[in-house]
Amino acid sequence: MSGIADAIENVTGAWILPIMVGLPLIVAVVLVIARRLSDDVATLVAASTATVTFVLAILASIAAGPYRDGEMVLELDRSWVPALGVGFHFGMDGVSAPLVLLTGLLGVLVCVHSVRVRPASGRARLLVACYLAVVGGALATFTVMDAVLFFIAFELVLVPMWFAIAFWGDDTQPDAPGRPGGEVARRDAANRFILFTAIGSALMLVGLLYVALQTGTTDLGKLADLAGEGLSHDVQVIAACFIVVGLSVKAPAFGVHTWLPPAHTIAPTGGSVLLAGVLLKMGTYGLVRVAVPILPDGFRTVAPFLALFAVLGIVWAGLACFVERDLKRLIALSSVAHMGFVLLGIASMTPQGLQGALFANIAHGLITGLLFLTVGSLKDRHHTADLALIGAGLRDRVPRLGWLLAFGAVAGLGLPGLAGFWGELLAIVGTWQSTGASSSLGTAGRPFAVVAVVGTVIAAVYLLRVLRLVWHGAAADAPQRVVPDATRHEVMVAAPLVVATVALGLLPWLLLDLTGPAVRVLLIVSGGNQ
């Protein structure tokens, strides 16, 4: 392995990360400009670009190995805006590598998916351009090591995702009684998405600038090395409030999550996959990269509140899923619950909790990506995602889609042996351990852990309800009996997610070994409770 790593380092130097980020962004611009390009060619170009990007991501993660010391590698630091101290600083460590790989993989899958499955409103060329831009922005978020650049990368995904939702989203909702078209619903969902996330990132920017002005640097690496040194407790708490509130919008935490259900439900299939699999992770990644190491004192003060909203989200979203009739919306709501576990793990500030959060991040990306792909296929065929209208007996009517849905649901409820299990287990363990005077959650740690356990039970119940309603049962009772099953193309797109879910479920240390050292470094520099 080290031979490959050396070879890569020799060829690209540290430029591999900027190239990996820039490639999808540049191709996205080219696709927008190239108006003569047919949709067939454009989607193929996008799919190959995404594949090359994914290969670069794999090469970068190999070159960045073996992640034993938890250090930042593949660093590239160039001055950009000296007046603000902002530099083109890229880097990768065990925290970012899994997310980079996940983003690369999901990018390939959504682009390949659109090669065959085209939006009803046409203009697939622009849609895949949006997808590529989102992938590029997300990769930038996970690899930049400068606070202001992080903010820019964070904003980069907003516009393309807005367009994806507003132009290619669900067209089955009524605009007015008896007038379908969905324009009103699409605009509403897209606007809510961009407005919520933009105010979140503006608040985050205020916090980041406050830290930068107090310490004199915007370099996330240097700030993490300082680990809050020179920042008084009050300064840390104020900055942490802004940053945590800002990032919670994206994550999302309960209370500021209301943009998520409409956005995920209305977005086109690929958009939902990227929203759930990539965009939500940007919020939690930001907490791990910025809040925990840079403002350890401040984050410790804010953590109990974050944990409270996390468990509220777990329970509330679970209960909402009990009664939700729309399958796509149900999966969107379940994302709030799953991300609640991630937030809880981060708030615990224990190695187990943080490891669990990072693991659950990836697992949620894989499983929810799979579920959104499957439900998207079901929705395309039934022209609705209403559980009652899809009807019973998917197992018999469309066995492949049925099994994919069943697999996703079982993985989502955290069955041991699949990826969903480990992340949530570790997050709960971390929360349980975060108790005592020196911990971040104090006396609230154990109650929170107990509530989170209840949340896993709720998840099992609502996902089994879904399976009982649409997977089980006699096909004869379904309102639409004859729909085509998943094509080979769709199965091929879903397969990598199934394989990865099983692999991480059976061999969790594949990921834990990657994140472990980096988490220890983050917590040691921040003086977290071991």
Partner 1 sequence: MNYASGLDTVQSVDWRLLAPVLGPVVAVAAILVLDAIGPERPGFRRLHDVLAVLGLVGAGAGVLLLVADGTTASTLCVPGGGLELPSCSYLVSPLTLTLQGLVIAGALVCLLLAVDGRAAIDRAPHHVLMLVAVTGALSLAGARDLITIVVAFETASLPAIALVALRRDAPGAQGAFTLLLTAVGSLGLLLMGMALLVLSTGSVHLDRIVAALATDPNLPQLSGPVRAVAALGAVLILAGVGFKMSAVPFHLWTPDTYAGAPLPIAAFLSVVSKTAGLAALVVLLPVGLPGLAGVWAPVIGVVAALTVTFGNLVAMRQTVAVRLLAWSTVAQAGWVLLPLSAARPGTPSAVRAATAASVGYLVAYAAASLAAFSVVVIVGRRHPAAEEHSIEAYRGLARREPVASAVLAFALACLAGLPPGIVGLMAKVVVFRPIVGATSWWLAGIAAVNVVFGLVYYVRWGALLFSPASGRALTWRVSVGEGLALGASGAACVALSVWPQAVAGLLPTVLR
* Residues that bind partner 1 in the complex, under the rule CB under 8 A: 33, 35, 80-84, 121, 126, 137, 148, 151-152, 155-156, 158-159, 162-163, 166-167, 191, 194-195, 198-199, 202-203, 205-206, 209-210, 213, 238
Q: At closest approach, how far in Å is the CB of 181 from partner 1?
A: 12
How many residues make up the chain in this entry?
Answer: 530
Q: 38 or 121, CB closer to partner 1?
A: 121
Q: Which residue has the tokens 């960045």?
A: 64
Task: Determine contact, residues 105/369, Cβ cutoff 8 Å.
Answer: no
> Residue 252: is the preceding peptide bond cis (ω within 30°)?
yes
CA distance 165 to 134: 12
Q: 255 or 442, CB closer to partner 1?
A: 255
Q: 149 or 486, CB closer to partner 1?
A: 149
CA distance 271 to 163: 10
Q: 3 or 82, CB closer to partner 1?
A: 82
Element containing residue 107 per DSSP (H, E): helix 96-116
Q: At closest approach, how far in Å is the CB of 204 from partner 1?
A: 9
DSSP character string of 29-66: HHHHH-TT--HHHHHHHHHHHHHHHHHHHHHHHHHTTT
Q: 159 or 319, CB closer to partner 1?
A: 159
Angle at 10 (CA atoms; ends 5, 11), nearest 5 degrees: 100
CA distance 123 to 274: 19
Q: 206 or 469, CB closer to partner 1?
A: 206
Q: At closest approach, how far in Å is the CB of 47 from partner 1?
A: 23
Q: 35 or 488, CB closer to partner 1?
A: 35
Q: At closest approach, how far in Å is the CB of 377 from partner 1?
A: 26
Q: 67 or 150, CB closer to partner 1?
A: 150
Q: At closest approach, how far in Å is the CB of 35 from partner 1?
A: 7
Q: Which among 404, 415, 389, 268 is positioned nearest to 325, based on CA atoms?
A: 389
Q: At closest approach, how far in Å is the CB of 215 from partner 1?
A: 12
In a 10 Å sphere around its CB, with 0-12 CB exposed, 13-18 middle and 19+ buried, how is residue 155 labelled? Answer: middle
CA distance 494 to 404: 8
Q: At closest approach, how far in Å is the CB of 303 from partner 1?
A: 21
Q: Which among 108, 125, 6 is positioned nearest to 57, based on CA atoms?
A: 108
Q: 194 or 418, CB closer to partner 1?
A: 194
DSSP state of 438: T
Query: What is residue 479's three-state secondary structure?
Result: coil
- Taking the mean position of all CA atoms in its chain, how far away is CA 204? 18
DSSP character string of 372-410: HHHHHHHHHHHS--BHHHH-S-HHHHSHHHHHHHHHHHH
Q: At closest approach, how far in Å is the CB of 484 from partner 1?
A: 29
Task: Determine contact, residues 204/243, Cβ cutoff 8 Å.
Answer: yes
DSSP state of 476: G
Q: 166 or 373, CB closer to partner 1?
A: 166
Task: Tell whether the torsion through CA atoms of 163, 167, 168 and 170 is positive or negative.
Answer: positive
Q: At closest approach, how far in Å is the CB of 259 from partner 1?
A: 12
Q: At closest approach, how far in Å is the CB of 151 from partner 1?
A: 7
Go through 316-341 and write b for each residue having 16 or more CB atoms within 10 A of its CB, e for each that does not: bbbbbbeebebbbbbbbbbbbbbbbb
CA distance 510 to 524: 23
Q: 78 or 488, CB closer to partner 1?
A: 78
Q: At closest approach, how far in Å is the CB of 150 from partner 1?
A: 12
Q: At closest approach, how far in Å is the CB of 31 from partner 1?
A: 13
Q: 20 or 523, CB closer to partner 1?
A: 20
Residue type, 46: A
Structure tokens at 153: 């990368």
Q: 238 or 295, CB closer to partner 1?
A: 238
DSSP character string of 150-164: HHHHHHHTHHHHHHH
Q: Distances in Å between the alpha carbon of 171 and those of 39, 70, 187, 378, 390?
A: 20, 47, 11, 15, 17
Q: At closest approach, how far in Å is the CB of 474 from partner 1?
A: 43
